Structure 1
Amino acid sequence: MTLQAWLAVAVFVTAYVLIATEWVHRVAAALGGAVAMALIGATDAHTAFFSPESGVDWNVIVLLIGMMLIVGVLRRTGLFEYLAIWSVKRARGRPYPVLVLLVVITAVASAGLDNVTTVLLIAPVTLFVCDRLGLPAAPFLIAEVMASNIGGAATLIGDPPNIIVASKSGLGFNDFLSVMAPIVAIILVVFLALCRWLFRDALHPNAEKAAAVLAMRERDGIRKPRLLAVSLVVLAAVLAGFVLHPLLHLDPAIVAIIGGLVLLAASRLDPDEVAKDVEWHTLLFFVGLFVMVGALVDTGVIDRLSQAAAQATEGRLWGTTMLLLWASAGLSAVIDNIPYVATMSPIVADLVHSGGQGHNVLWWALLLGADLGGNATAIGASANVVMLGVAERAHRPITFWQFTRYGLIVTVITVAVCVPYLYLRFF
């Protein structure tokens, strides 16, 4: 690699250490790393802000702003309180069944929606539930964001890496349902069992608080019925826009921001007050992270790593499959899986083309590793970063290592579950 590439690696590692150790705030570390990348010439203004391959993904930023505006209005209607009371009643106030219910809802929703959208919608419900039941919020929030990453792997539209692979490979929606949905269902069951063990110290019931919630009526949580009706219509239209994207040819970011602005106007709420609910710190963190990872792409670091992983097994299909699965999980734990999959896709396409249809297993190994590897660290997936921002704003901060010590266990076990599945299914 060139000197500039090595300098880019040094900058990224330094920023990552600062984020992991929390010696400085993660936003300052990410933006400082982005500035350093520009100073060493690993990126420039045009590349950082306008390059579709290695610049800031403005689609993600705009989509987040739109959904955060919608959530900000919904929060004032009382909908989240309604859903929280309903969830607690269905689980009879017992912490683990409440966790199971919220995790399953999150995973199923993430199969059809963007993971970040699902997290933004479920987080306020979770915070209300934990407040009312006297439970720590961190285990619930961590479990839900991991469930969103697991559930998103099930379908073609559930996670951006899946969409990238579909466009490169020619695999269709039914192919994803046939191959990915069964293993995701198995992994979700394993994950629920893991949650019972990992978070056992936080799942102690408080009978008095549970009884108080069970005595509440769901309807009493709704404060603004008219605004709720308008909000649900707009939200339904936005979700329909996401699902009908192939027909409408409207980017989800455009759909989300239009929905957010229309709802803000129709709500007649003070825009300044609603804007305060937007996680601006989280958005700035994403900008810094996008610039740093883009610099690694531009300097050839990601490409070198990808080619080395692909060539290491010298054409042995099972060995290549396993290396691709575990290497994808490891790399997606420390960099965003979107640029990684985008960079790796042409290499996998060449391997599949040269090996024939039987080598399609490599696409599934790439996706399972990249999708599940995002659970390993607090910055491994976009949804993780958003959830950390929500928790911090609610004055229930989750540290990098608090998330990662659970994430590493979950990632190793869930990726390991994929090994016999891939072998039995394709070998």
Structure 2
Amino acid sequence: MAVTLTIIIFVISYLLIISGKINQALVAVSGGVLLLISNIYTWNIAFTRYIDWSTIALLFSMMVLVSITKKTGLFTYIAIRFAQQVKGAPIPLLIGTAFLTAIGSALLDNVTTVLLFVPIILTITKLLQLPSFPYLLTIIFSSNIGGTATLIGDPPNIMIGQAVEHLTFSSFIVHLGPVVVILFICMLLLMILRFRKDFSANKQLVKELLEINPNDYLEKTPMLYQSITVLVITMAGFLLHPVFHIDLTTVAVCGALLLLLLTEKELKTEKVFQEVEWITLFFFIGLFMLVGGLQEVGIIDEVARWIIYLTNGDLPVTAVLLLWISGLISQMINNIPFVAAMIPVIQEFQTYGMTYVDPLWWALALGACLGGNGTLIGASANVVVSGIAEAEGEPISFVRFLKYGVPFVIFSLVVSMIYLYIRYLIPFLG
């Protein structure tokens, strides 16, 4: 009965989120509360086991840093400078957006990158009166592809790296970097081919843009220099994570607290908190509760056991099935809980005599990270981009995103499967 009820609540909540008729955060949290009322789990279990407070704290901290920095005009300055460098041309702007997002997502993490970059691109599209959707879609795809390449780029990779000691920062780059580059180039070509007809540069607006002095938008007060300094320190902390092993959330929280303390006289803390995307944070909390229900009644664990049963320990079959299952499931639920369930399963494979399981880790990472491109709730970065865009009056339709996301995920999984076979699995084919 509990399993059936959990599935019903999850499916209804998911359908309501897709419809977009009710606020997504309200739907997700309401679904989570229904699970509590139904005694699927208790508040204590939801808060201590299923809600990922580390992710919530990281998001909150970065939102605080972005909110304060935004007041200084720095993002507007960067946006104008970036747009002027590409002469206001829509396609070079799209290409530049993709490259910067992918590189940022690989070196920092994709959630931090989109928090920093989405306000910039929305400023540019408003200045040039360009459609924002192609750029936001490119940012989401680029962030998830770029984040796949490194240990710190996407939460599933961080979890895998923490679970498997010999998979280092360089290991992820060496093993996942080549396929990431291939997928990024393909994605960029597809975006240009699909949206090139939607772009029309307004010559008058471009002329006005080139005549703007970006320095006029900077508020040259102590808060500007404090914001830049703390942002640089925070980014350095992210980059040095493999060296000092300081948790990314701890770095972000320290950066936010430091900037709040430094700017308290110039910008009151309560004003900063008013700018935080609370809707996005509560949406994440609701999602964690909904997926926690699936974990509580054993549905995710059952999927893991089903994979073992179907593959019977055959490495190539297991790797391919794991890639597709993780890729398809990550479109429907946030990829973090699924990866958490699969890590002990892959470790268990070694007790069945499968001594070399590295291809399974790469299959899980590729499936979970790239599968997140399928829907607006598939990955953390997607939810953040959607929340910022809605707050700025540029909402992204769930269904419209789905039309682009699902086909691209299928394409990405096919490319990844071919890559896995060529690089790792051919020697194991019987």
2:68 matches 1:63: no
1:166-205 paired onto structure 2 within 5 Å: 166-170=161-165, 171-205=167-201
8 Å CA contact retained: 1:194, 1:410 = no
Counterpart amino acid of residue 422 in structure 1 = L
Q: 322, 325, 347: which one pairs with 2:323?
A: 325
8 Å CA contact retained: 2:19, 2:398 = yes
Q: 106, 111, 118: which one pairs with 1:111?
A: 106
Shift of 1:58: 0.9
Shift of 1:247: 5.0
Q: 67, 72, 77: which one pairs with 1:77?
A: 72
Shift of 1:357: 4.9
SS of structure 1 residue aligned to 2:145: helix
2:164 matches 1:153: no
The structure 1 segments of at least 4 consecutive aligned residues displaced by more than 6 Å after TM superposition are none
2:237 paired residue number = 241
2:102 matches 1:98: no
How far apart, in 2, do the equivalents of 1:416 and 1:290 lie?
A: 29
SS of structure 2 residue aligned to 1:347: helix
SS of structure 2 residue aligned to 1:204: coil
Counterpart amino acid of residue 23 in structure 1 = K
2:121 matches 1:126: yes
8 Å CA contact retained: 1:352, 1:360 = no
How far apart, in 2, do the equivalents of 1:238 and 1:48 lie?
A: 30
Percent identity between matched residues is: 40
How far apart, in 1, do the equivalents of 2:411 and 2:202 lie?
A: 31
How far apart, in 1, do the equivalents of 2:403 and 2:182 lie?
A: 22
The number of residues matched between the two structures is: 422
8 Å CA contact retained: 2:346, 2:357 = no
Shift of 1:202: 2.9
2:82 paired residue number = 87
How far apart, in 1, do the equivalents of 2:132 and 2:199 lie?
A: 11
1:32-71 paired onto structure 2 within 5 Å: 32-51=30-49, 55-71=50-66
1:272 paired residue number = 270
How far apart, in 2, do the equivalents of 1:98 and 1:162 lie?
A: 29
How far apart, in 1, do the equivalents of 2:286 and 2:41 lie?
A: 12
Structure 1, gaps ≥5 residues long: none
How far apart, in 1, do the equivalents of 2:362 and 2:290 lie?
A: 27
How far apart, in 2, do the equivalents of 1:363 and 1:277 lie?
A: 39
Counterpart amino acid of residue 258 in structure 2 = V
Of 170-179 and 104-113, deviating more is: 170-179
Q: 19, 25, 31: which one pairs with 2:17?
A: 19
Give the 3 Å change call, closer, same or farther, for CA 89–353 of structure 1 in structure 2: farther
1:255 paired residue number = 251
SS of structure 2 residue aligned to 1:395: coil
8 Å CA contact retained: 2:79, 2:124 = yes
Counterpart amino acid of residue 254 in structure 2 = I
How far apart, in 2, do the equivalents of 1:173 and 1:261 lie?
A: 28
> How big is each residue's C-alpha offset from its partner over 1:159-216, in whole Å with a ceiling of 9 and x where there is no partner?
1111221233332222211111111111110110111133334322222211211222
8 Å CA contact retained: 2:32, 2:289 = yes
How far apart, in 2, do the equivalents of 1:118 and 1:265 lie?
A: 24
C-alpha RMSD of matched pairs (Å):
1.6
8 Å CA contact retained: 1:99, 1:140 = yes
How far apart, in 1, do the equivalents of 2:198 and 2:213 lie?
A: 26
8 Å CA contact retained: 1:376, 1:410 = yes
Shift of 1:223: 2.3
Give the 3 Å change call, closer, same or farther, for CA 221–9 of structure 1 in structure 2: same
2:298 matches 1:303: no
2:368 paired residue number = 370
1:405 paired residue number = 403
Of 177-186 and 84-93, deviating more is: 84-93
8 Å CA contact retained: 1:169, 1:349 = no
Shift of 1:249: 4.9
Shift of 1:92: 1.8
Which TM-score applies when normalising by structure 2? 0.94
How far apart, in 2, do the equivalents of 1:210 and 1:142 lie?
A: 23
> How big is each residue's C-alpha offset from its partner over 1:7-40, in whole Å with a ceiling of 9 and x where there is no partner?
1111111100110112321111101100111112
Shift of 1:302: 0.4
1:323-362 paired onto structure 2 within 5 Å: 323-352=321-350, 354-362=352-360
Shift of 1:225: 4.9
How far apart, in 2, do the equivalents of 1:359 and 1:263 lie?
A: 44
1:390 paired residue number = 388
Give the 3 Å change call, closer, same or farther, for CA 258–188 of structure 1 in structure 2: same
How far apart, in 1, do the equivalents of 2:350 and 2:197 lie?
A: 46
Of 169-178 and 331-340, deviating more is: 169-178
Counterpart amino acid of residue 81 in structure 1 = T
Give the 3 Å change call, closer, same or farther, for CA 169–257 of structure 1 in structure 2: closer
1:208 paired residue number = 204
2:133 paired residue number = 138
Shift of 1:311: 2.2
> How big is each residue's C-alpha offset from its partner over 1:134-177, in whole Å with a ceiling of 9 and x where there is no partner?
10112211210221111011011111111221233332222211
Of 6-15 and 215-224, deviating more is: 215-224
Of 164-173 and 78-87, deviating more is: 164-173
Q: 193, 204, 216: which one pairs with 1:220?
A: 216
Counterpart amino acid of residue 210 in structure 1 = V
How far apart, in 2, do the equivalents of 1:190 and 1:354 lie?
A: 38
